[in-house]
Amino acid sequence: MADYDRPHVLMMSEITVDGKLTLKRGASSKILMKYMAPETEILLHQTRAECDAIMVGANTIRIDNSFLTVRLVEGKSPLRVIPNSRANIPLNANVLGSDARTVIAVSEAAPAEKVARLRESGVDVVSVGADEVDLPGLMRILKRDYGVSRMMIEGGPTLNWSMLNHRLVDEIRLIHLPFIVGGADTPSLVGGMHIETEKEMIRLSLKRHFMCGSNLVTEWSVLYGDSLEE
Ligand SMILES: NC(=O)c1ccc[n+]([C@@H]2O[C@H](COP(=O)([O-])OP(=O)(O)OC[C@H]3O[C@@H](n4cnc5c(N)ncnc54)[C@H](OP(=O)(O)O)[C@@H]3O)[C@@H](O)[C@H]2O)c1
Protein backbone atom coordinates (compact mmCIF):
# COMPACT_ATOMS: atom_id res chain seq x y z
CA MET A 1 0.00 0.00 0.00
CA ALA A 2 1.42 3.39 -0.93
CA ASP A 3 2.02 5.70 2.01
CA TYR A 4 -0.41 8.30 0.66
CA ASP A 5 -3.22 5.67 0.67
CA ARG A 6 -3.18 5.36 4.45
CA PRO A 7 -2.61 7.45 7.58
CA HIS A 8 0.82 7.82 9.13
CA VAL A 9 0.66 5.53 12.20
CA LEU A 10 2.29 6.02 15.60
CA MET A 11 2.15 3.17 18.13
CA MET A 12 2.27 4.56 21.68
CA SER A 13 2.36 2.47 24.86
CA GLU A 14 3.40 2.57 28.45
CA ILE A 15 5.50 -0.51 29.19
CA THR A 16 7.35 -1.99 32.14
CA VAL A 17 11.08 -2.68 32.01
CA ASP A 18 10.23 -6.29 31.09
CA GLY A 19 8.08 -5.09 28.19
CA LYS A 20 4.66 -5.79 29.72
CA LEU A 21 1.55 -3.69 29.14
CA THR A 22 -0.40 -4.65 32.22
CA LEU A 23 -0.12 -6.53 35.56
CA LYS A 24 -1.40 -9.91 34.37
CA ARG A 25 -3.57 -11.32 31.58
CA GLY A 26 -7.05 -9.83 31.81
CA ALA A 27 -6.04 -6.91 34.06
CA SER A 28 -6.69 -3.31 33.05
CA SER A 29 -3.64 -1.27 32.06
CA LYS A 30 -5.22 1.60 34.01
CA ILE A 31 -3.64 0.06 37.14
CA LEU A 32 -0.14 0.60 35.67
CA MET A 33 -1.05 3.97 34.17
CA LYS A 34 -1.58 5.35 37.69
CA TYR A 35 2.22 5.23 38.02
CA MET A 36 2.91 7.45 35.01
CA ALA A 37 4.40 10.83 35.85
CA PRO A 38 1.88 13.70 35.50
CA GLU A 39 4.07 15.16 32.71
CA THR A 40 3.81 11.87 30.79
CA GLU A 41 0.03 11.76 31.12
CA ILE A 42 0.02 15.22 29.57
CA LEU A 43 2.29 13.97 26.75
CA LEU A 44 -0.18 11.15 26.08
CA HIS A 45 -3.13 13.52 25.86
CA GLN A 46 -1.08 16.00 23.79
CA THR A 47 -0.28 13.20 21.36
CA ARG A 48 -3.96 12.28 21.12
CA ALA A 49 -4.79 15.91 20.37
CA GLU A 50 -2.21 15.95 17.55
CA CYS A 51 -3.76 12.89 15.87
CA ASP A 52 -6.85 12.72 13.64
CA ALA A 53 -7.69 9.25 14.93
CA ILE A 54 -6.84 6.83 17.74
CA MET A 55 -7.28 3.06 17.50
CA VAL A 56 -7.33 0.32 20.17
CA GLY A 57 -8.35 -3.34 19.90
CA ALA A 58 -11.76 -4.61 20.97
CA ASN A 59 -10.26 -6.48 23.91
CA THR A 60 -8.77 -3.30 25.33
CA ILE A 61 -12.26 -1.81 25.21
CA ARG A 62 -13.63 -4.88 27.04
CA ILE A 63 -10.90 -4.83 29.71
CA ASP A 64 -9.93 -1.15 30.11
CA ASN A 65 -13.22 0.43 28.93
CA SER A 66 -11.15 3.41 27.72
CA PHE A 67 -12.65 6.79 26.74
CA LEU A 68 -9.73 7.64 24.37
CA THR A 69 -10.52 11.35 24.62
CA VAL A 70 -8.33 14.43 25.13
CA ARG A 71 -8.86 15.63 28.68
CA LEU A 72 -5.63 16.99 30.16
CA VAL A 73 -4.77 19.52 27.45
CA GLU A 74 -6.72 21.85 25.16
CA GLY A 75 -7.57 20.23 21.86
CA LYS A 76 -10.05 18.13 19.97
CA SER A 77 -10.46 14.45 20.73
CA PRO A 78 -9.47 12.28 17.77
CA LEU A 79 -11.83 9.98 15.91
CA ARG A 80 -11.99 6.73 17.91
CA VAL A 81 -11.53 3.58 15.82
CA ILE A 82 -12.20 0.10 17.20
CA PRO A 83 -11.73 -3.05 15.09
CA ASN A 84 -14.34 -5.52 16.40
CA SER A 85 -14.98 -8.24 13.83
CA ARG A 86 -18.29 -9.49 15.22
CA ALA A 87 -19.73 -6.18 16.46
CA ASN A 88 -19.92 -7.54 20.00
CA ILE A 89 -18.30 -4.92 22.22
CA PRO A 90 -20.52 -4.08 25.22
CA LEU A 91 -23.23 -1.56 24.36
CA ASN A 92 -22.37 0.42 27.51
CA ALA A 93 -18.68 0.81 26.49
CA ASN A 94 -17.36 4.33 27.08
CA VAL A 95 -16.23 4.67 23.43
CA LEU A 96 -19.87 4.45 22.36
CA GLY A 97 -20.63 7.64 24.30
CA SER A 98 -21.00 11.07 22.73
CA ASP A 99 -17.67 12.54 23.98
CA ALA A 100 -16.11 12.04 20.52
CA ARG A 101 -16.91 10.51 17.14
CA THR A 102 -16.38 6.75 16.87
CA VAL A 103 -15.98 4.24 14.04
CA ILE A 104 -16.46 0.55 14.82
CA ALA A 105 -14.87 -1.58 12.09
CA VAL A 106 -16.56 -4.95 11.69
CA SER A 107 -16.23 -7.85 9.24
CA GLU A 108 -18.86 -9.47 7.03
CA ALA A 109 -19.23 -12.10 9.78
CA ALA A 110 -20.84 -9.55 12.14
CA PRO A 111 -24.53 -10.33 12.80
CA ALA A 112 -26.80 -7.66 11.24
CA GLU A 113 -28.74 -7.08 14.47
CA LYS A 114 -25.53 -6.37 16.42
CA VAL A 115 -24.41 -3.92 13.74
CA ALA A 116 -27.82 -2.22 13.89
CA ARG A 117 -27.62 -1.87 17.67
CA LEU A 118 -24.17 -0.27 17.42
CA ARG A 119 -25.46 2.19 14.81
CA GLU A 120 -28.41 3.06 17.08
CA SER A 121 -25.89 4.10 19.73
CA GLY A 122 -24.74 6.85 17.34
CA VAL A 123 -21.44 5.48 16.02
CA ASP A 124 -20.39 4.78 12.42
CA VAL A 125 -20.02 1.11 11.55
CA VAL A 126 -17.71 0.23 8.66
CA SER A 127 -17.62 -3.32 7.27
CA VAL A 128 -14.24 -4.37 5.89
CA GLY A 129 -12.91 -7.93 5.70
CA ALA A 130 -14.57 -11.34 5.39
CA ASP A 131 -14.00 -12.93 8.82
CA GLU A 132 -11.65 -10.58 10.65
CA VAL A 133 -11.32 -6.84 10.14
CA ASP A 134 -9.05 -6.19 7.14
CA LEU A 135 -6.66 -3.63 8.63
CA PRO A 136 -5.03 -2.42 5.36
CA GLY A 137 -8.55 -1.93 3.93
CA LEU A 138 -9.61 -0.08 7.08
CA MET A 139 -6.58 2.22 6.82
CA ARG A 140 -7.56 3.13 3.24
CA ILE A 141 -11.14 3.88 4.33
CA LEU A 142 -9.96 6.07 7.22
CA LYS A 143 -7.80 8.12 4.87
CA ARG A 144 -10.27 8.33 1.98
CA ASP A 145 -13.62 8.71 3.80
CA TYR A 146 -12.63 10.26 7.12
CA GLY A 147 -9.63 12.36 6.10
CA VAL A 148 -7.36 10.70 8.68
CA SER A 149 -3.74 11.65 7.94
CA ARG A 150 -2.20 10.85 11.30
CA MET A 151 -3.36 8.06 13.58
CA MET A 152 -2.07 6.65 16.86
CA ILE A 153 -2.67 3.14 18.17
CA GLU A 154 -2.66 2.46 21.89
CA GLY A 155 -2.64 -1.37 21.83
CA GLY A 156 -3.18 -3.99 22.97
CA PRO A 157 -0.64 -6.58 21.86
CA THR A 158 -2.95 -8.47 19.48
CA LEU A 159 -3.76 -5.33 17.49
CA ASN A 160 -0.15 -4.12 17.74
CA TRP A 161 1.04 -7.36 16.15
CA SER A 162 -1.55 -7.28 13.35
CA MET A 163 -0.66 -3.70 12.48
CA LEU A 164 3.08 -4.45 12.44
CA ASN A 165 2.54 -7.66 10.47
CA HIS A 166 0.80 -5.63 7.76
CA ARG A 167 3.61 -3.04 7.85
CA LEU A 168 1.16 -0.34 8.85
CA VAL A 169 3.14 1.17 11.74
CA ASP A 170 5.61 3.96 10.99
CA GLU A 171 6.87 4.91 14.45
CA ILE A 172 6.72 3.76 18.05
CA ARG A 173 6.81 5.90 21.20
CA LEU A 174 7.30 4.07 24.49
CA ILE A 175 6.80 5.38 28.00
CA HIS A 176 9.05 3.25 30.18
CA LEU A 177 7.72 2.50 33.65
CA PRO A 178 10.32 1.52 36.27
CA PHE A 179 8.74 -1.83 37.21
CA ILE A 180 9.07 -5.52 36.48
CA VAL A 181 5.83 -7.50 36.61
CA GLY A 182 6.88 -10.83 35.05
CA GLY A 183 4.43 -13.51 34.00
CA ALA A 184 4.98 -15.74 30.96
CA ASP A 185 1.47 -14.99 29.63
CA THR A 186 1.25 -11.36 30.73
CA PRO A 187 0.52 -9.21 27.63
CA SER A 188 3.66 -7.55 26.27
CA LEU A 189 3.99 -4.81 23.64
CA VAL A 190 3.52 -7.18 20.70
CA GLY A 191 1.66 -10.49 20.78
CA GLY A 192 1.38 -13.27 18.24
CA MET A 193 4.77 -13.03 16.60
CA HIS A 194 6.47 -16.41 17.14
CA ILE A 195 9.10 -15.85 14.48
CA GLU A 196 11.30 -18.68 13.25
CA THR A 197 14.42 -16.86 12.10
CA GLU A 198 16.16 -13.58 12.73
CA LYS A 199 15.22 -12.49 9.21
CA GLU A 200 11.67 -12.02 10.50
CA MET A 201 12.73 -9.65 13.28
CA ILE A 202 11.23 -6.21 12.86
CA ARG A 203 14.07 -3.75 12.91
CA LEU A 204 13.78 -0.34 14.58
CA SER A 205 15.96 2.72 14.66
CA LEU A 206 16.13 4.91 17.78
CA LYS A 207 15.15 8.47 16.84
CA ARG A 208 15.11 10.21 20.20
CA HIS A 209 15.03 9.60 23.93
CA PHE A 210 14.20 12.02 26.69
CA MET A 211 12.94 12.24 30.26
CA CYS A 212 9.34 13.32 30.67
CA GLY A 213 8.98 14.02 34.39
CA SER A 214 10.36 10.86 35.97
CA ASN A 215 9.64 8.63 32.93
CA LEU A 216 12.08 7.72 30.16
CA VAL A 217 10.44 8.10 26.75
CA THR A 218 11.95 6.48 23.65
CA GLU A 219 10.96 7.11 20.04
CA TRP A 220 11.66 4.62 17.26
CA SER A 221 11.28 4.48 13.48
CA VAL A 222 10.01 1.13 12.21
CA LEU A 223 12.25 -0.16 9.40
CA TYR A 224 10.75 -3.67 9.09
CA GLY A 225 13.21 -5.97 7.28
CA ASP A 226 14.54 -3.25 5.02
CA SER A 227 17.99 -3.09 6.54
CA LEU A 228 18.49 -6.76 7.40
CA GLU A 229 20.81 -7.52 4.48
CA GLU A 230 24.22 -6.70 5.89
N1 LIG B 1 -0.02 -0.44 28.52
C2 LIG B 1 -0.66 -0.05 27.44
O3 LIG B 1 -0.26 0.93 26.80
C4 LIG B 1 -1.88 -0.80 26.98
C5 LIG B 1 -2.64 -0.25 25.95
C6 LIG B 1 -3.75 -0.97 25.50
C7 LIG B 1 -4.07 -2.20 26.05
N8 LIG B 1 -3.34 -2.69 27.06
C9 LIG B 1 -3.70 -4.00 27.64
O10 LIG B 1 -3.74 -4.99 26.61
C11 LIG B 1 -4.66 -6.02 26.98
C12 LIG B 1 -5.59 -6.31 25.82
O13 LIG B 1 -4.83 -6.71 24.70
P14 LIG B 1 -5.28 -7.92 23.76
O15 LIG B 1 -4.09 -8.32 22.98
O16 LIG B 1 -6.00 -8.97 24.56
O17 LIG B 1 -6.38 -7.30 22.82
P18 LIG B 1 -6.42 -6.02 21.82
O19 LIG B 1 -5.21 -5.97 20.97
O20 LIG B 1 -6.81 -4.81 22.59
O21 LIG B 1 -7.68 -6.41 20.93
C22 LIG B 1 -7.60 -7.47 20.03
C23 LIG B 1 -8.97 -7.73 19.44
O24 LIG B 1 -9.26 -6.76 18.40
C25 LIG B 1 -10.17 -7.37 17.49
N26 LIG B 1 -9.69 -7.35 16.12
C27 LIG B 1 -10.50 -7.27 15.04
N28 LIG B 1 -9.82 -7.34 13.92
C29 LIG B 1 -8.52 -7.47 14.26
C30 LIG B 1 -7.36 -7.61 13.50
N31 LIG B 1 -7.35 -7.60 12.16
N32 LIG B 1 -6.20 -7.76 14.16
C33 LIG B 1 -6.16 -7.75 15.51
N34 LIG B 1 -7.25 -7.61 16.29
C35 LIG B 1 -8.44 -7.49 15.66
C36 LIG B 1 -10.30 -8.84 17.91
O37 LIG B 1 -11.45 -8.93 18.76
P38 LIG B 1 -12.87 -9.33 18.12
O39 LIG B 1 -12.77 -10.78 17.78
O40 LIG B 1 -13.83 -9.01 19.17
O41 LIG B 1 -13.01 -8.51 16.91
C42 LIG B 1 -9.07 -9.06 18.74
O43 LIG B 1 -9.21 -10.13 19.67
C44 LIG B 1 -5.41 -5.51 28.19
O45 LIG B 1 -4.91 -6.15 29.35
C46 LIG B 1 -5.08 -4.03 28.24
O47 LIG B 1 -5.10 -3.53 29.56
C48 LIG B 1 -2.25 -2.02 27.54
Question: What digits encode the pLDDT tens for the residues 44-76?
Answer: 999 999 999 999 999 999 999 999 999 999 999
How many whole angstroms from 12 Cα to the centroid of ligand 1? 14
Q: Spell out the residues 6+ positions from residue 34 whose beta carbon is closer than 8 angstroms to its own.
A: none
In a domain? residue 161 = yes
pLDDT given for residue 228 in this prediction: 54
In a domain? residue 230 = no
In a domain? residue 123 = yes
Tens digits of per-residue pLDDT, 167-191? 999 999 999 999 999 999 999 999 9
Number of domains in the chain: 1
In a domain? residue 218 = yes
Q: Rounded mean pLDDT of the chain? A: 95
pTM here is 0.96
Check if 157 has its Cβ closer than 6 Å to any atom of ligand 1: yes
Q: Which domain holds residue 49?
A: 3-224
CATH number for position 56 = 3.40.430.10
In a domain? residue 229 = no
Q: Where are the alpha helices (DSSP H) in 19-176?
A: 30-33, 38-50, 58-64, 112-120, 135-146, 157-165
In a domain? residue 90 = yes
Ligand 1 pocket mutation pick from 85, 166, 215 by most atoms within 8 angstroms of CB? 85
Q: Spell out the residues 6+ positions from residue 8 whose beta carbon is closer than 8 angstroms to its own.
A: 149, 150, 151, 170, 171
